[in-house]
Chain A
């Protein structure tokens, strides 16, 4: 089944304790992206990757790191989590549009609900 998986789905942690949220897709998509969703602020892009070893900042990259060593995986790293990073996180992946600059349909993971105390 074509899908984007995220782990863990729920996580409660404490300030300053490094954590990684994994994201994996089995559709051979070039593009992957991380978003966070907060009440009243909608979905905001954290980082994205156009292909292996190519990553770039979204609108809210502060406090996050990513890497894209393999096409299928795009982990989100919080080196020193803080309470303001408590949020619902979504990973997504997409093929690039053939014949022009743009993305095809983005497939989203089920979300990771993170609480930082």
Chain B
């Protein structure tokens, strides 16, 4: 499996950058890394995805190491509304299709005033 490992919880002060790490040491060359977040029991919300290069959008930046074994999601100026569970997702290599995804346990990010 393309197993992902994340710390169970992290804290961040409002206005500071939140850096959420993810290890995906079994990822293969053509597998994307995806990040989603979930607030309470709402449907997960897409944040960003990447393959090899670093990516940035209006929500966050994604830094992928050169060996692609880990990545970091950066929320540049965290707000209280960014408090959520953040999931790093890789394709489940046990499947024959890139549609098979493994969410993992996620990181509970708490942003405090």
- Chain A contacts to B: CB under 8 angstroms: 4, 31, 33, 35, 37, 42-45, 48-50, 56-59, 88, 90, 92, 97, 100-103, 105-111
Given A37-B41, A42-B106, A103-B49, list of 19 further CB < 8 A pairs? Answer: A31-B99, A33-B99, A33-B101, A42-B103, A43-B44, A43-B87, A45-B92, A45-B102, A48-B100, A49-B99, A58-B92, A59-B100, A92-B44, A101-B30, A102-B31, A102-B49, A103-B32, A107-B46, A109-B43
Chain A residues, Cβ within 8 Å of B96: 56
Chain A residues, Cβ within 8 Å of B45: 108
Number of A-B contacts (CB under 8 A): 79
Chain A residues, Cβ within 8 Å of B10: none
Q: Which of B32, B34, B38, B99 has the largest number of chain A CB atoms within 10 A?
A: B99
Set B32, B92, B104: member contacting A42, Cβ < 8 A: B104
Whether A105 contacts B46 by the Cβ 8 Å rule is: yes
Chain B residues, Cβ within 8 Å of A108: 43-45
Whether B100 contacts A56 by the Cβ 8 Å rule is: yes
Whether B99 contacts A48 by the Cβ 8 Å rule is: yes
Kindly state whether residue B17 has any CB partner on chain A within 8 Å: no
Kindly state whether residue B7 has any CB partner on chain A within 8 Å: no
Q: How far is the CA of A107 from the CA of B46 in the complex (A)?
A: 7
B2 nearest CB across to chain A (Å): 12
Across the interface, name the chain A residue whose C-beta is closest to B44: A108
Whether A100 contacts B30 by the Cβ 8 Å rule is: yes
Chain B residues, Cβ within 8 Å of A59: 92, 100, 102
A7 nearest CB across to chain B (Å): 14
Q: In the complex, which residues 21-70 of chain B have their Cβ closer than 8 Å to any Cβ of chain A?
A: 30-32, 34, 36, 38, 41-46, 49, 51
